[in-house]
Each structure stands twice: as structure tokens, then as C-alpha cells.
């Protein structure tokens, strides 16, 4: 769209928001630009990683759908794709890595042997791109996870292996935070669970608790590294029992002062993750959100601007808790262009945040305090027809990225034709 038209539309929107909603859009955009989103590397290669040639997802409660042409096959290709995605996402953000994305020089390096040196190129790239990094232990797609149990396994040797792996990944996270000058969030998810009914739930969860206690005995400077733990309702192969449920991790997080991760796809479809924010933050210092989209199950579709996403960001802003909630993407959709999936999901989260920031919080609080629920409802309804799109397009223009529509599609398809389609 023509810059003059965008500017003109924005000025009209700015005046309307000021007059009708008591909102200063300039202040809103300043806040929006300051919120980083952690963009996950595994969308770019279908969670294959670089541990071995022609690696691919190998069970462990995960499944990638689709085989769209142009998957990144090497670290350099993946970084190039991520750079392209970042160039189309307004704002300054973060990159999120899994441990299986280290660069091992063609050598066999098992998960409990990885070191910071295996991520040197990622750190150098992040420095060049002015990005912070986040990190994840990779407790799946490995022979020692083949039976569906890792940190809760009945086998002491298996538990020891995975504890060593997580201790290594925490060490690497702290190194990343030190090198980049921004705390690295280390997130832990494990696939442990049972396909059919399990009669020893207590034992599995008791072992997981002890494994976590041993892992977290080593403390790191929170300015360099922060820990997060992520629960789940069920997964492929763990339909009847998940050891690390949301209840388990919530209790552990509260007791031990660790960040709790809430993934939008990891709950029953009738549950509201938005409603959990004000409850969890009563007891946890902060929360990590994994933005995903489950369609009937934890299917990891690319995030979109749907009611769930809007409600989530509204709740964070209404509390207000932007300084206590961290946002990351977590999905792997190989049915469409992978760069496009990154961009759509990231922009959806940012749009939801912008919509929440454009809500007239002061006016709504006054209505609610006075018991004027009609005024509250009407104001919420009136906000739905306000010119949000004009503010979003202006934000994109100021950040030097295309607005939604034809220009954005052209940029992604042009990259596909010139770069991704050459990968055979």
C-alpha cells in the first residue's frame, strides 16, 4: 500500500482512538515495539535437527504434517530462512533453539555430551543479527526415549542420561545469555507418558520430581539464564497418561520458584488458557507462553488471530503483566511455505497484542467499578469496529516490513522461487 495512504489512514485512526477510546496510539506503538517474540527454529526444518545426515522426527509424542518443498537442510539454510522471516516481522525479536540443532562437524555427539562450542555459529549469528537466544532440552527423537519415558523412567541409567542432557542444556543456555548480554530462557518439555492406562502414576511422577530436584540443584545467574517447565494434556503415544501434566508442573513451579510454560495447544479444547494467566501469576513470578493452534487436538497449526489468541493477550494487558509474561512460537506446519508459517504466526501474536493495547483500559475499569456493565459491554463491542488495521499497517511501515496482503505474499513467494525451490 502507498505510504501516503497508510499515513493518512493512521492519522484518522489516531484521532478516533484518542476521542472515542481515550487511547494514545503513539504510546501503544512504543509499547508494542518493546515486546520481543521468541521465534522457534524447528518450524523451518520440521523438527529434524542436525545431529545426523538426513535426520527426521523420530517419535516421542510429536508429529509433523506435510512435506512442502524447500525445507532447510543445513544450519546455514535454516539461519537464512529465519533471517528472511525476521525481515517480515515488525519489531526486534529473539530466536529459539532446540539442543538437536547444534553443529557437530559430522561427529557423533550424544545428547549428554553437547557443549557450548556446538552452538558457536548460532551465537555468532545472533550477535550479527542483534538477536537474543532461547534454548530447549531435546528429550525426544532418541533411542533412550523410545519407550516413551525419559526423566521419569524406571531405569536409573536412562534417567541419569537425560539428567545429564538437561544439565548440559542449562549450562549452554547460561553461556548464550552471557555471550549475548540477555537472559536465555531454557524450557524443558519431556514426552513421558503412556498410550494406555497406567497403574503407577505416583511412581513415575515421584521419579520425575526427584530428577528435576537433582537437575535444578545447580543454580545460574538469572541475568544469564531462566528456567521454564512445560506441561501437556496428552501426546501421540501418551493419550492415557502424561507424567508432566500441567498440574504437576504448576505445583513444582510454585514450590521452587521456576517459570511455568503454558502452550496454547496443550490443554483441552474447552479450557481457556487466557483465564489461567491471572490465576498462575498470583503464585508464579512469570509465565512463558507458547503460541500455537490446536485443531481438535494438539496439532501445532500455525498461530492465527483467533478468539483464543485475542483473549490471551487481552488478559495479559488487562492485568497488566507484560513485564511478567514471555511470548514464544511453538508449532511445526509443513503443509505450507515454512517461512510463511513463521511470519503468519508471529504477526498474529503481535496483532493480538496491539488489539489488547488499543483497548480503553481506564474507561472499562471505571465502568466495572461503578457496576455499569452495559457501558462496559458496549465499549468492548465498539472497540471491534475501530480502525485497528490502520494502526497495524502504520506500525509495519515504521518497522520497514510489508503490511498484510499482496506485498507480503510476493516477498515470501519470491524467496521461495529464488532460494527454497533450489533445494532438492
Helices (H), 66-200: 75-86, 120-129, 156-180
Which residues form the catalytic set?
189, 230, 232, 263, 266, 290, 298, 300, 330
Give the up-direction half-sphere exposure of residue 315: CA atoms within 13 A in the CB hemisphere.
18
In this structure, the strands spanning 94-98 and 184-188 are unpaired
Cell triple for 419: 532460494
Task: Determine the Cα–Cα distance for residues 230 and 266; give it in Å rounded to an integer.
Answer: 9
**Dist CA 259 CA 45 (whole Å):** 28
Is the Cβ–Cβ distance between 191 and 148 less than 8 Å? Answer: yes
- 155 phi and psi angles, rounded to 5 deg: -90, 120
Let me know if 190 is exposed, middle or buried by CB neighbors in 10 A (0-12, 13-18, 19+). buried
* CA proximity to 291, closest of 308, 276, 277: 308
Q: Which of 142, 153, 141, 112 is nearest to 244 (CA)?
A: 153
Closest CA to 232 of 61, 57, 17: 61
Strand-pair partners of 39: 95
**Contacts with 170 (C-beta within 8 Å, 6 or more apart), sequence order:** 137, 186, 215, 218, 220, 225, 227
Amino acid at each position: 500500500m502507498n505510504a501516503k495512504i497508510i499515513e493518512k489512514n493512521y492519522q484518522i485512526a489516531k484521532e478516533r482512538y484518542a476521542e472515542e477510546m481515550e487511547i494514545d496510539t503513539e504510546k501503544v506503538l512504543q509499547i508494542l515495539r518493546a515486546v520481543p517474540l521468541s521465534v522457534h527454529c524447528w518450524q523451518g526444518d520440521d523438527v529434524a535437527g542436525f545431529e545426523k545426515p538426513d535426520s527426521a522426527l523420530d517419535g516421542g509424542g510429536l508429529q509433523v504434517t506435510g512435506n512442502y518443498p524447500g525445507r532447510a537442510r543445513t544450519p546455514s539454510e535454516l539461519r537464512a530462512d529465519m533471517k528472511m522471516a525476521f525481515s517480515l516481522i515488525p519489531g526486534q525479536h529473539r530466536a529459539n533453539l532446540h539442543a538437536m540443532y547444534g553443529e557437530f562437524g559430522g561427529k557423533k555427539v550424544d545428547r549428554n555430551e553437547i557443549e557450548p562450542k556446538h552452538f558457536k555459529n548460532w551465537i555468532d549469528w545472533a550477535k550479527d543479527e542483534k538477536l537474543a537466544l532461547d534454548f530447549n532440552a531435546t528429550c525426544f527423537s532418541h533411542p533412550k526415549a523410545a519407550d516413551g519415558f525419559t526423566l521419569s523412567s524406571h531405569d536409573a541409567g536412562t534417567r541419569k542420561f537425560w539428567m545429564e542432557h538437561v544439565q548440559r542444556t542449562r549450562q549452554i543456555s547460561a553461556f548464550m545469555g552471557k555471550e549475548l548480554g540477555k537472559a536465555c530462557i531454557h524450557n524443558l518439555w519431556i514426552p513421558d507418558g503412556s498410550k494406555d492406562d497406567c497403574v503407577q502414576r505416583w511412581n513415575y511422577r515421584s521419579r520425575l520430581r526427584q530428577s528435576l530436584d537433582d537437575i535444578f540443584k545447580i543454580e545460574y545467574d538469572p541475568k544469564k539464564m531462566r528456567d521454564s517447565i512445560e506441561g501437556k494434556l496428552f501426546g501421540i503415544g501418551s493419550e492415557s497418561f502424561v507424567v508432566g501434566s500441567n498440574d504437576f508442573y504448576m505445583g513444582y513451579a510454585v514450590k521452587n520458584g521456576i517459570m511455568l510454560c503454558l502452550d496454547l495447544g496443550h490443554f483441552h479444547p474447552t479450557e481457556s488458557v487466557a483465564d489461567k494467566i491471572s490465576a498462575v501469576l498470583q503464585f508464579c513470578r512469570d509465565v512463558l507462553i507458547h503460541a500455537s493452534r490446536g485443531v481438535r487436538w494438539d496439532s501445532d497449526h500455525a498461530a492465527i488471530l483467533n478468539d483464543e489468541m485475542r483473549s490471551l493477550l487481552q488478559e495479559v494487558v488487562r492485568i497488566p503483566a507484560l513485564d511478567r509474561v514471555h511470548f514464544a512460537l511453538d508449532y511445526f506446519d509443513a503443509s505450507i511455505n515454512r517461512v510463511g508459517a513463521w511470519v503468519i504466526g508471529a504477526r498474529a501474536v503481535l496483532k493480538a497484542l496491539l488489539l489488547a493495547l488499543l483497548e480503553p483500559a481506564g474507561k472499562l475499569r471505571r465502568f466495572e467499578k461503578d457496576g455499569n456493565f452495559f457501558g462496559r459491554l458496549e465499549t468492548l463491542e465498539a472497540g471491534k469496529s475501530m480502525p485497528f488495521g490502520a494502526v497495524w499497517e502504520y506500525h509495519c511501515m515504521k518497522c520497514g516490513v510489508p503490511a498484510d496482503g499482496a506485498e507480503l505474499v510476493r516477498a515470501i513467494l519470491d524467496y521461495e522461487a529464488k532460494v527454497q525451490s533450489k533445494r532438492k
